[in-house]
Amino acid sequence: GAVVSQHPSWVICKSGTSVKIECRSLDFQATTMFWYRQFPKQSLMLMATSNEGSKATYEQGVEKDKFLINHASLTLSTLTVTSAHPEDSSFYICSAVGLDNTGELFFGEGSRLTVL
């Protein structure tokens, strides 16, 4: 099946720094990628929809200046957490839908961010 890879799988940073998380579709081209956030023992919360070559669409309550999303190619989307604070600590998961758009999303393995 289609593979989506995230990097890094875990990262620890100091408060006030920025962290970039990459999401790559390894064996298919993804016109659309989604970024989710998962709090401990909670469900996935959709943060934003990332479309190749255009601005991301953010869900209500998600700060677009805080969570910068770039989808520069059909195989790569990045999420940058700017000026990270401890409350940004979470598990961030990306997913992608292929060009053939079968309706199935393929998920990355997630990136755990810990802000000290």
Partner 1 sequence: AQSVSQHNHHVILSEAASLELGCNYSYGGTVNLFWYVQYPGQHLQLLLKYFSGDPLVKGIKGFEAEFIKSKFSFNLRKPSVQWSDTAEYFCAVSPGGYNKLIFGAGTRLAVHP
Residues found near partner 1 in the complex (CB under 8 A): 4, 32, 34, 36, 42-46, 49, 93, 95, 97, 101, 103-105, 107-110
User: What is the closest distance, in whole angstroms, from the C-beta atom of residue 44 to partner 1 in the complex?
Assistant: 5
User: What is the closest distance, in whole angstroms, from the C-beta atom of residue 17 to partner 1 in the complex?
Assistant: 26
User: What is the closest distance, in whole angstroms, from the C-beta atom of residue 67 to partner 1 in the complex?
Assistant: 17
C-alpha–C-alpha distance, residues 100 and 103, integer Å: 9
- Our CB check for partner 1 shows the closer of 36 and 67 to be 36
- Our CB check for partner 1 shows the closer of 76 and 110 to be 110
User: What is the closest distance, in whole angstroms, from the C-beta atom of residue 48 to partner 1 in the complex?
Assistant: 10
The identity of residue 1, as a single letter, is G
The answer to whether 20 and 105 have CB atoms below 8 angstroms apart is: no
Where do we find the tokens 């989710």? 36
Give the contacts of 56 (CB within 8 A, at least 6 positions apart): 48, 49, 50, 64, 69, 70, 71
- Our CB check for partner 1 shows the closer of 84 and 97 to be 97
The answer to whether 14 and 116 have CB atoms below 8 angstroms apart is: yes
